[in-house]
Amino acid sequence: MLLHIIARGKIGRSPEAELVDRYTKRLTMPHKITEMPDRGGKLPPAGPGTVTVMLDEKGKQLGSMDFARRIEGWRDAGSRECRFLIGAADGFDDADRANADLLIAFGAMTWPHMMARAMLAEQLWRACSILANHPYHREG
């Protein structure tokens, strides 16, 4: 299953880009990042069975094990792509939210979208390591 980060904004050369690179390099599942403009533009077409996860402050706060198990469940159910949408300064509206299969929040606070991208990359690596029984994640 392709892990597809679809993020608004250009990360360029920045500390956040280094973090995204550091964690995505370690992913053991196929992955790619598509950058969208801050506003407008069309989402890449979604094939059948694509799962859409939206990063949004109003979303559900999942633990890392739960996040990993959801990815495992979608993968094992035969989904070809799991896409993760990250907004820009304006975030998402309710119509966007209604099109997502799951909304997840990294806490109730608002993070800059480039930091959200780096945090997602880390959580995806953590999820891959959990699913591979790699010792990176320690459950407290």
Minimum distance from residue 81 beta carbon to ligand SAM (Å): 18
Residue 109 binds ligand SAM, judged by CB under 6 A: yes
Q: Is 107 exposed, middle or buried (0-12, 13-18, 19+ CB in 10 A)?
A: exposed
Which of residues 36 and 105 has its CB atom nearest to ligand SAM in the complex?
Answer: 105
* Annotated binding-site residue? 67: no
Cβ proximity of 134 and 26 under 8 Å: no
Residues 31-90 that bind ligand SAM (CB under 6 A): 55-57, 86-89
Give the residue, chosen from 3, 116, 124, 128, that forms a contact with ligand SAM under the rule CB under 6 A.
116
* Annotated binding-site residue? 87: yes
* Residue 138 neighbours by CB distance under 10 Å: 5
d(CA 55, CA 33) in angstroms, rounded, equals 15
Give the residue, chosen from 4, 70, 83, 113, that forms a contact with ligand SAM under the rule CB under 6 A.
113
Positions at the binding site:
55, 87, 106-111
